[in-house]
Amino acid sequence: MAESDGVPAQPQPAPPQRVRPQGNAVVAVLSAWLVPGLGHIYLKRRLRGLAFFVLVMVSIFIGCRLEGNLYKVVPGQPLSVLATLGSMGMGFPYFLLRYGIHYQGNIMGAGYEYGTAFLLTAGLMNLLLTLDAWDIVRGKKE
């Protein structure tokens, strides 16, 4: 309604304020990928970063205890490339498991399939957390 009708016009809400970036985007994203939760800790989201670290590490631990497959590229199987990239999403733990302690799942293990799902989920989850750190440092998320 208009003010001429005797009813004052409603004030328009202010546009949402963008949160100011708090750090270097490259450092935040690389640290978030390399060590799960570290990007959030760098961005001063300590409790969130610690929770994410524990979440990804527990997923990796369960996957290893169930003797799941830690994907690697298999020649002639193009989908193994995607699975490997997903697993590499866990960052440093992937390379530690693959090359540091030469982890291999046990295809005969009772929990092999479940363990594989936990290991792949840990990598994909960390990739999502890396994107979350990217959004925070860009000021699109708080």
pLDDT in tens, 16-60: 665 565 788 999 999 999 999 999 999 999 999 999 999 999 999
Residue with tokens 């997903």: 86
Q: How confident is the model at residue 3 (pLDDT cuts 50, 70, 90)?
A: low
By CB atoms closer than 10 A (0-12, 13-18, 19+), residue 85 is middle
Per the model's pLDDT, the better-predicted residue between 127 and 139 turns out to be 127
Average pLDDT, the chain: 91
Residue with tokens 């302690």: 101
Is the pLDDT assigned to residue 106 strictly greater than 70?
yes
DSSP H helices, the chain, are 25-34, 38-42, 46-65, 79-88, 92-95, 112-137
List the structure tokens of 37. 């939760």
SS3 1: coil
Q: Which residues contact 3 (CB under 8 A, 6 or more apart)?
A: 9
How confident is the model over 121-139, as a mean pLDDT? 96
Is the pLDDT assigned to residue 9 strictly greater than 90?
no
SS3 3: helix
What pTM was computed for the model? 0.82
SS3 69: coil
List the structure tokens of 136. 């925070």
Q: Which residues contact 55 (CB under 8 A, 6 or more apart)?
A: 36, 125
pLDDT in tens, 62-99: 999 999 999 999 999 999 999 999 999 999 999 999 99
